[in-house]
């Protein structure tokens, strides 16, 4: 991200953001609500147009990359964005749409296909096989969140941009999901993105990441390796500002 | 693990498969001399006649169509609202009377509603001769019943708690109706009323095609003489009117639905409607085409039992009903399936705008004229009739689909784009998925409208109840007419019931759904 500004309805969402993410980095994105974390993730995946500056992916402007390159950027949305009209399996499969053709997309709407891949992703996300046939509106909030996680890993991207992916989960599942997203657990041969940017509200988890970026009022105020982030800085981020 | 789970987005597209047998049949019957004529028709779009006489004639026709539509629309709205109130359960509940009366009225109204305005027009034409009031009454009868159905459905879906509370407080029935029923129903009347005016214009145009005057007659005559440039003059003028009308209605509805000055707004609305009716009446009288003295009541030979019996034996029921159902099935497949299929295959904004223009004109050209255009280059059969009916209705469904898609947010689309999906897949999963239950609910309704409309293209199809209906009418075979009408009504009512069930189950599936179909006409 180079000199990135995002202004929406005269509100400055992001101001002068300069971030370079290297392959293999596991980044925790911190900040109070409204600090600009979601906007930063949307700008990173190219769904928000910057008012100034640019976002480059492998040296190319993210707004102009091909669909194939776009599929390398997997996003886990804060509001999940699951398709209510499809069942769990079909939703998980929709993560793979970027690498498939129209015919495959149509087949996925007719029934459950590539079930083994689906089951692997679902199980990795802590979902039981039996849930795959259920409609989205029949499952709980926590289950929906894990379906979204399964869908994101089904995409097999190179980088994962996750916006508060663990907000509806219990403590045990939080640890499990963070380990999954950071590639710390064995996962049945599923390709987990090597590079991860995760926004969260649990600063106690930053020790699992290699780097911490913190935002406040749309600006980067902390950007350092996670082991250098002090408790004081965290308190300052959440309480003193 | 359940392998088959046919989802709603794919159900919206699958019916388009019916285009295959229809296209094969049309292509097999093609004769190339006719194709050249069709080419001329298409080119006429870009080169409408600007001859003053032609424009004047089109404008005159349009005035008559508009006058017919406005008068029939206002009659049907007024009558429909009253009938809607008295056919609702809640109305009789307020009066502390049995709601069986409401049920009885609803059942009676279902019969005139199930008969298409064209059939009413042709029957009245046989009885009273050519007169503008024939078209007006022909439209007003089924439309009043349609409005009544919508109003009573809406009234019965209202929360009845305020009614109970007011009754318990000792309010008089008339006050309960005015306080608890009018405020929630007025926005529905405003929104639905505007839509019905558009339908009335389309209905009046269609009746014109069958000789009842107006722009429809202009279209029919120019098509018959293959004067396509002149035909396009009428179509452009009609298109312009519909465009202005649509914008004006939206603007007016927006203004009316803003809070405040209710009394003033209602007075303005009623005054404008009154002025429009007055102008329409003056126009019809000035042209001497609406004179009541012109009515010549021809006697109807009411058929006796033995005539009915012999007509019943003579009519090939299986073929008639089978063909009507086949025609409905094929036309519904085209009408429902092709709009999402086209938008999925060509999701670009440029194509979307181009197809919107095409749909605008397909909505304007009455299905019998589309069918007549087609038989210039191919053999007349049930497939041609299905295609004509199907593409006219696909233009109605297409507009609806586009409106729904334009109204929804961009989040779902963004989510699919971010997976790297191609444009077609993005449209299918991001745009179509969310609105597919609503679209299918409208499609269920459209299918029962199509059963009624099969009578409109019956002649080209050369078979089915619609064809038999018109045949019996022109040969004054009242016994056959009575039987065919009865069969038609029964099929339409069964279709209506099935589509109601399909619609409510589809809408039930949509969670947190506050949507209710109000446009059922």
Query: Which residues in chain A have Cβ-Cβ distances shorter than 8 Å to B3?
Result: 111-112, 115
Q: Please, which residues have CB within 8 angstroms of residue B410's CB and are 6 or more apart in sequence?
A: none
Kindly give, in sequence order, each residue whose CB lies less than 8 Å from that of residue B320, ignoring residues fewer than 6 positions away. Answer: B463, B464, B465, B468, B484, B487
Of A83, A98, A115, the CB nearest to B420: A98
B491 and B367 in a common domain: yes
Taking CA–CA distances from A129, the nearest residue in chain B reads B1
pLDDT at B515 over 70: no
Best CA proximity match to B404, nearest among B9, B7, B6: B9
pLDDT by position in tens, chain A (length 241): 999 999 987 788 999 999 999 999 999 999 998 899 999 999 999 989 999 999 999 999 999 999 889 999 999 999 999 998 899 999 999 999 999 999 999 999 998 889 999 999 999 998 998 899 998 988 998 999 999 999 999 999 999 999 999 887 888 888 888 988 888 766 677 888 999 999 998 888 999 999 999 999 999 999 999 999 998 888 888 875 4
Quote the pLDDT of residue B473. Answer: 83
Clarify whether residues B87 and B27 are in a common domain: no
pLDDT score for B171: 85
Q: Do B430 and B383 belong to one domain?
A: yes
**Which residues on adjacent β-strands are paired with residue A161?**
A75, A197
Please tell me the distance from the alpha carbon of residue B351 to that of residue A132, in angstroms, as a whole number: 37
CB proximity A97 to B under 8 Å: yes
Q: pLDDT band at residue B514, thresholds of 50, 70 and 90?
A: very low
Considering the domain architecture, whether residues B286 and B314 belong to the same structural domain is answered as no
User: Which uninterrupted H or E stretch holds A131?
Assistant: none
Q: Across the interface, do B434 and A74 touch by the CB < 8 Å criterion?
A: no
Across residues B4-20, what is the average pLDDT? 92
Residue B416, helix vs strand vs coil: helix
Q: Supply the range of the domain harboring residue B111.
A: 63-294
Please determine, for residue B518, whether its predicted confidence score (pLDDT) is greater than 60: no
Is B514 part of any domain?
Answer: no
Cβ within 8 Å, pair A133-B2? yes
Q: DSSP character for A166?
A: T
CA distance A78 to chain B (A): 11
Question: What's the gap in Å between the CA of B419 and the closest CA on chain A?
Answer: 5
B362 belongs to a structural domain: yes
Quote the CA–CA distance of A173 and A179 in Å, as a whole number. Answer: 10
Return the pLDDT at B9: 93
Q: Is the pLDDT of residue B521 over 50?
A: no
For chain B, list residues whose CB is within 8 angstroms of any CB belonging to chain A: 1-10, 13, 411-412, 414-422, 424-425, 428-429, 433-434, 436-437, 510-511
List for chain B the helix, strand, coil content (%; round to 5).
Answer: 80, 0, 20
> What is the phi/psi pair of residue B160, to 5°?
-85, 0
**Domain identity same for B469 and B437:** yes
| CA separation for the pair B306, B337 (Å, rounded) | 46
| B81 in the same domain as B22 | no
According to DSSP, the residues that pair with A213 across neighbouring strands are A29, A223
Rounded Cα distance between B46 and B40, Å, is: 10
- Whole-angstrom distance, CA of residue A83 vs CA of residue B193: 34
Beta-strand pair A195-199/A26-30: parallel
Per-residue model confidence as pLDDT tens digits over B297-342: 667 778 889 989 999 999 999 999 999 999 999 999 999 999 999 9
For chain A, domain boundaries: 1-72+194-241
Q: Is A103 on the interface with B (CB under 8 A)?
A: no
Same domain for B317 and B285: no
Other CB atoms within a 10 A radius of the CB of residue B391 amount to 23
Closest partner residue to A85 (CB to CB) among B8, B411, B416 is: B8
Q: Is the pLDDT score of B253 beyond 60?
A: yes
* CB–CB contact B419 A70 (8 Å): yes
Which residues are within 8 A (CB) of B349 and not within 5 positions of it... i.e. 6 or more apart? none
Name every chain B residue with its beta carbon within 8 A of the beta carbon of A101. Answer: 422
* CA distance to partner chain A, nearest, from residue B342 (Å): 14
Q: Are B219 and B277 contained in the same domain?
A: yes
Partners of B425 on chain A (C-beta within 8 Å) are: 97, 100, 102, 105
Pick from B197, B196, B214, B192: nearest CA to B205: B214
Report the pLDDT value the prediction gives residue A240, as an integer from 0 to 100: 54
- Residue B285 resides in a domain: yes
Residue B513: which pLDDT band, with cuts at 50, 70 and 90?
Answer: very low
What is the distance between the alpha carbons of residues A183 and A160, in angstroms, rounded to a whole number? 11
Chosen for mutation from B6, B420, B438, B512 (greatest number of chain A CBs closer than 10 Å) is: B420
Handedness of CA B385, B391, B394, B396 (dihedral sign): negative
| A204/chain B closest Cα distance in angstroms | 29
The distance of A185 to chain B (nearest Cα, Å) reads 24
Q: What angle do CA B226, B232, B238 make, to 5 degrees?
A: 130
Task: List the structure tokens of B478.
Answer: 């009242």
What integer pLDDT is reported at residue B512 of this predicted model? 40
Burial class (CB in 10 A: 0-12, 13-18, 19+), B326: middle
Distance CA B340, CA B118 (A): 30
Tally the domains of chain B: 2
Taking only the tens place, the pLDDT of each residue in B464-512 is 888 888 888 888 888 998 999 899 889 888 888 887 787 777 766 554 4
Distance, CA of B111 to chain centre:
17
Cα separations (Å) of B225 from A218, B31, B41, B376?
70, 19, 12, 12
Nearest to B283 by CA among B59, B54, B52: B59
**Which residues does chain B have within 8 Å of residue A72's beta carbon, measured at their own beta carbons?**
420
Q: Which tens digits make up the pLDDT trace of B121-173?
A: 988 888 887 777 889 999 999 999 999 988 988 888 888 888 888 888 888 88
Q: Is residue B184 part of a domain?
A: yes
SS3 A29: strand
CA-wise closest residue to B163 among B150, B151, B173: B173
Q: Is the minimum CB–CB distance between A174 and chain B shorter than 8 Å?
A: no
User: Residue A85: which of B7, B422, B425 has the nearest Cβ?
Assistant: B7
In chain B, whose CA is at the least distance from the CA of A158? B419
Cα separation, A204 vs A171, whole angstroms: 12
Under an 8 A CB cutoff, do A74 and B428 touch? no
Among residues of chain B, what percentage have pLDDT more than 70? Answer: 92
In sequence order, what DSSP letters do the residues of B461-491 get, joined into one string?
HT-HHHHHHHHHHHTT-HHHHHHHHHHHHHH
In which element (H, E) is residue A221 found? strand A219-225
For A1-72+194-241, which CATH class? Answer: alpha beta
- Is residue B206 a part of any domain in this protein? yes
Query: Quick check: A144 contacting B, CB < 8 Å?
Result: no
A74 in B contact zone (CB under 8 Å): yes
Distance CA B442, CA B397 (A): 8
| Token digits of residue B302 | 């009411």
- Chain-chain contact of A133 with B1 (C-beta, under 8 angstroms): yes
The rounded distance, in Å, linking the Cα atoms of B125 and B227 is 28
**B28 and B154 fall within a common domain:** no
Residue of chain B with shortest Cα separation from A104: B425
Cβ neighbours for A146, distance < 8 A, ≥ 6 positions apart? A122, A125, A126, A127, A169, A173, A177
In terms of CA atoms, which chain B residue is nearest residue A86? B7
CA distance B460 to B463: 8
Q: Do A83 and B422 touch (CB under 8 A)?
A: no
What residues in B contact A90, CB-CB < 8 Å? 5, 7
Among the partner residues A47, A69, A83, nearest to B429 by beta-carbon distance: A83
Q: Are B271 and B370 found together in one domain? A: no
Query: What is the CATH classification number for the domain harbouring B458?
Result: 1.10.3720.10
A155 close contact with B: CB closer than 8 A: yes
Based on the domain organization, do B169 and B265 belong to the same domain?
yes
Taking contacts as CB-CB distances below 8 angstroms, the residues of chain B near A83 are 412, 429, 433-434
Per-residue model confidence as pLDDT tens digits over B81-103 = 999 999 999 999 998 888 889 88
**Which residues of A are less than 8 Å from B413 in CB distance?**
none
Whether A133 sits inside 8 A of B5 (CB atoms) is yes
Do both B350 and B476 map to the same domain?
yes
Nearest to B8 by CA among A118, A139, A110, A131: A110
Q: Min CA distance, A182 vs chain B (Å)?
A: 20
Compute CA B498 distance to the chain's CA centroid, rounded to the nearest angstrom.
Answer: 18
Alpha helices in B365-477 (DSSP H): 367-377, 382-407, 411-417, 423-426, 433-453, 458-461, 464-474
* Residues B340/B439, Cβ–Cβ less than 8 Å: yes
In a domain, B1, yes or no: no
Mean pLDDT of B235-262: 82
Nearest CA in chain A to B433: A85
| Block residue for tokens 């004067």 | B227
Name the closest residue on chain B to residue A81, using Cα atoms: B412
**Position B521 in a domain:** no
């Amino acid at each position: 991200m180079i000199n990135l500004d995002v202004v929406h309805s005269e509100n400055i969402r992001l101001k002068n953001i300069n971030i370079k993410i290297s392959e293999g980095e596991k980044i925790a994105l911190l900040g109070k609500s409204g600090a600009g974390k979601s906007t930063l993730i949307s700008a990173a995946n190219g769904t928000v147009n910057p008012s100034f500056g640019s976002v480059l992916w492998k040296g190319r402007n993210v707004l102009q990359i091909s669909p194939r390159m776009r599929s390398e950027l997997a996003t886990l949305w804060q509001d999940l964005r699951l398709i209510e009209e499809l069942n769990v399996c079909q939703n998980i499969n929709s993560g793979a749409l970027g690498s498939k053709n129209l015919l495959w997309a149509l087949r996925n709407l007719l029934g459950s296909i590539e079930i083994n891949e689906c089951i692997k992703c679902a199980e990795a996300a802590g979902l039981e096989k039996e849930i795959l046939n259920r409609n989205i509106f029949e499952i709980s909030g926590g289950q929906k969140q894990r379906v979204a996680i399964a869908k994101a890993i089904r995409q097999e991207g190179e980088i994962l941009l996750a916006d508060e992916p663990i907000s509806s989960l219990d403590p045990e599942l939080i640890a499990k999901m963070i380990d999954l997203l950071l590639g710390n657990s064995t996962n049945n041969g599923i390709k987990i993105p090597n590079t991860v940017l995760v926004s969260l509200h649990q600063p106690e988890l930053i020790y699992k990441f290699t780097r911490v970026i913190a935002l406040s009022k749309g600006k980067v105020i902390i950007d350092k390796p996670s082991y250098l982030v002090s408790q004081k800085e965290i308190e300052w981020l959440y309480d003193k500002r | 693990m359940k392998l088959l789970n046919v989802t709603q987005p794919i159900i919206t597209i699958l019916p388009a498969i019916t285009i295959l047998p229809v296209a094969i049949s049309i292509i097999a019957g093609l004769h190339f001399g006719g194709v050249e004529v069709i080419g001329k028709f298409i080119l006429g779009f870009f080169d409408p006649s600007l001859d003053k006489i032609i424009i004047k004639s089109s404008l005159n026709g349009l005035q008559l169509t508009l006058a017919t539509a406005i008068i029939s629309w206002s009659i049907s709205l007024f009558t429909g609202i009253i009938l809607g109130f008295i056919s609702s359960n809640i109305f009789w509940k307020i009066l502390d009377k049995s709601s069986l009366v409401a049920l009885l009225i609803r059942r009676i109204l279902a019969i005139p509603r199930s008969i298409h305005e064209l059939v009413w027009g042709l029957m009245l034409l046989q009885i009273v001769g050519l007169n503008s009031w024939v078209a007006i009454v022909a439209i007003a009868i089924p439309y009043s019943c349609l409005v009544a159905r919508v109003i009573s459905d809406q009234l019965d879906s209202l929360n009845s708690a305020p009614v109970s509370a007011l009754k318990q407080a000792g309010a008089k029935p008339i006050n309960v109706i005015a306080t608890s029923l009018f405020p929630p129903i007025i926005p529905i009347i405003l929104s639905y009323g505007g839509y019905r005016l558009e339908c009335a214009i389309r209905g009046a145009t269609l009746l014109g095609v069958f000789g009842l005057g107006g722009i429809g007659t202009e279209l029919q005559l120019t098509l018959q003489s293959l004067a396509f440039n002149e035909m396009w003059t009428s179509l452009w003028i009609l298109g312009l009117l519909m465009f202005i009308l649509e914008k004006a209605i939206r603007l007016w509805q927006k203004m009316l639905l803003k809070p405040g000055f209710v009394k003033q707004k209602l007075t303005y609305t009623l005054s404008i409607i009154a002025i429009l009716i007055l102008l329409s009446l003056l126009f019809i009288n000035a042209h001497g085409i609406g004179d009541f003295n012109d009515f010549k009541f021809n006697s109807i030979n009411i058929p006796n039992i033995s005539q009915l019996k012999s007509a019943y034996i003579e009519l090939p029921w299986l073929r008639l009903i089978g063909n009507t159902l086949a025609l409905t099935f094929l036309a519904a497949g085209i009408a429902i399936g092709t709009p999402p299929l086209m938008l999925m295959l060509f999701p670009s904004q440029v194509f979307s705008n181009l197809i919107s223009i095409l749909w605008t004109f397909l909505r304007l050209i009455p299905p019998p004229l589309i069918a007549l255009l087609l038989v210039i280059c191919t053999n007349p059969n049930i497939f041609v009739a299905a295609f004509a009916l199907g593409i006219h209705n696909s233009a109605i469904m297409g507009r609806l689909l586009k409106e729904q898609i334009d109204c929804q947010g961009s989040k779902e689309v963004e989510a699919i784009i971010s997976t790297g999906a191609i444009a077609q897949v993005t449209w299918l999963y991001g745009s179509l998925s969310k609105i597919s239950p609503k679209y299918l609910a409208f499609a269920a309704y459209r299918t029962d409208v199509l059963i009624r409309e099969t009578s409109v293209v019956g002649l080209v199809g050369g078979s089915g109840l619609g064809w038999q209906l018109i045949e019996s009418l022109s040969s004054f075979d009242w016994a056959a007419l009575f039987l065919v009408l009865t069969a038609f009504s029964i099929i339409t009512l069964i279709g209506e019931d099935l589509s109601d069930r399909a619609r409510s189950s589809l809408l039930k599936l949509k969670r947190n759904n506050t949507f209710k179909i109000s446009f059922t006409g």
